Amino acid sequence: MVNRRAFLFRMALFSRVRSLPWRTSQPKGWPWAFLGTACEGTVTDVGTEGEQRERTSWKEESSQNLGFWRERLADQMLPLWRLNYEEQLKVKFESLKKNLETLESRLCKIGAGDPAPTTARSERPCSRLHPFMPSCFEAFLQQSTWGLSTDSCKAGPWHELIVRTTFLGHTMAIIIFNPQELSQEELCVQKEEIKEFFSTGPGAVCDLTSLYMKERTPRHQQLTPFQLLTGEPYIFEDILGLKVRISPGAFFQLNTSAAEVLYRTVGELGRVDRNTVIFDFSHGTGATGLSLARQTSQIFSMGLVGQALEDAKWTAAFNGITNWESHPGNMKEIMPQLLESQEDGRSLMALVDPSQCGLSNRVVQDIRNCRAIQTLVFVSCRPYGKSIKNIIKLCQPPDPDENLLGEPFVLRRAMPVDMFPHSLQCELVMLFTR
């Protein structure tokens, strides 16, 4: 059986050469800057001069060619970059169409409506600071006493650098580190060094709004908090006229311009109007539901907890949104009270935008068994795997053994939104009714 992902990768790899999808630039006063690669001239070759002359293999030659490795990295991270944008959309369209056909074949009843995907294009230019940060951080690593930490070799505490930028000009850097056997004294010294480097040292060119550090822990251990080293605790983004607060641990779409297209698509597919009441099960900062608040009668956020919930509350208050409420907890207990407070004739819609792990079985059962919910908008960043299992449970005939008692949903429409140009990833917005 042909592996579709492998085929798409090969097709992109051997297509005609195009300009790389990112912009490389050279920060003033800094050497070569490119996607976090080591600065030019920092790689040390081990061996005698005679041995080096004997290395004539293509690998040795290519190691001297940064352009070769740039293309290799692009092929791994953004396998569609060699195709023009219209061709990229066709590839994603066919892939999602195949997923929907697979889904249809597994459902007992698909209903009268056929999926009619259309594609929305949205690209966001890289921030001018993105090329600066890797070079600055690597310059710090070169002067640091400690080395890098990887999954296979625990050589040092430094593990990962995450950079988040917004259209409002804010930049948040998050450094993930593995403390290993370091003492608290040694950790404090490292934190002070990196704080000084980015505040008053060479890294000040990055002009960071926030600089955080976070300890990397095994999955079975409790998550550690983000530690603010310098700057503001939050960054902010403007999306569809809303000012949204973003914490270091909160999920927010990488591509703001495309996120605006995504949120509009959710409202259009769900036919949201002033008669609509939305039960929002989305994760993240609640931006999807909040962006629809001015078009709806009421929004009940059911899934936000922790810092993400605090971000959503701030966003609602700052933007004067009064018809948004948060009700985390057991939906079975909360839903009857919420339904009683609604006027007759309201249209109830569930909105789900799960993480890559999909929806929990409890949420699927709660939505399925709430007979008042007649419309469901399902946003999936991975319309396969766990999402397919979720959709099958939402659409299969009633099954008391699985606690699926309500009438099944029927898939009516599906629309892909390209959030990540040059990659194989694509969001799929699906409309279900019953």
Residue 253 known to bind ligand: yes
Given 108, 126, 136, 381, the catalytic residue: 381
Distance of CA 219 to the CA centre of its chain: 20
Tell me the two tokens of residue 379: 């946003």
238 is in an annotated binding site: no
Long-range contacts of 306-313 (CB under 8 A, 24+ apart): 306/249, 307/247, 307/249, 307/250, 308/247, 308/249, 308/250, 308/251, 308/283, 308/284, 310/247, 311/234, 311/244, 311/245, 311/246, 311/247, 311/250, 311/285, 311/286, 312/285, 312/286, 312/287
Comparing CA positions, the residue from 141, 245, 240 lying closest to residue 194 is 141
SS3 content of the chain, % helix, strand, coil (to 5): 35, 20, 45
Token digits for 300?
Answer: 């009940």
The distance between the two most distant Cα atoms of the chain, rounded to a whole number of Å, is: 86
Q: What is the DSSP letter of 293?
A: G
The pair of three-digit structure tokens given for residue 287, joined into one six-digit string: 């931006």
**What gap in Å lies between CA 340 and CA 333, rounded to an integer?**
12
In whole angstroms, what is the distance from residue 81 CA to residue 419 CA? Answer: 14
At position 257, the amino acid (one-letter code) is S
State how far the Cα of 26 lies from the Cα of 131, in Å rounded to an integer. 8
Task: Please choose, from the candidates 110, 120, 56, the residue with its C-alpha nearest in 3D space to the C-alpha of residue 88.
Answer: 120
Q: Where are the beta strands (DSSP E) in 262-374?
A: 276-280, 298-301, 324-326, 347-352
Joined together, the tokens standing for residue 415 give 């629309």
Q: Let me know if 381 is a catalytic residue.
A: yes
Instruction: Collect all residues with Cβ–Cβ distance below 8 Å to 280 and sequence separation of at least 6.
Output: 286, 288, 289, 299, 300, 301, 302, 303, 351
Q: Is 28 exposed, middle or buried (0-12, 13-18, 19+ CB in 10 A)?
A: exposed
**Active centre residues (catalytic):** 381
**Residues that constitute the known binding site:** 253, 353
**Residues that constitute the known binding site for S-adenosyl-L-methionine:** 253, 353
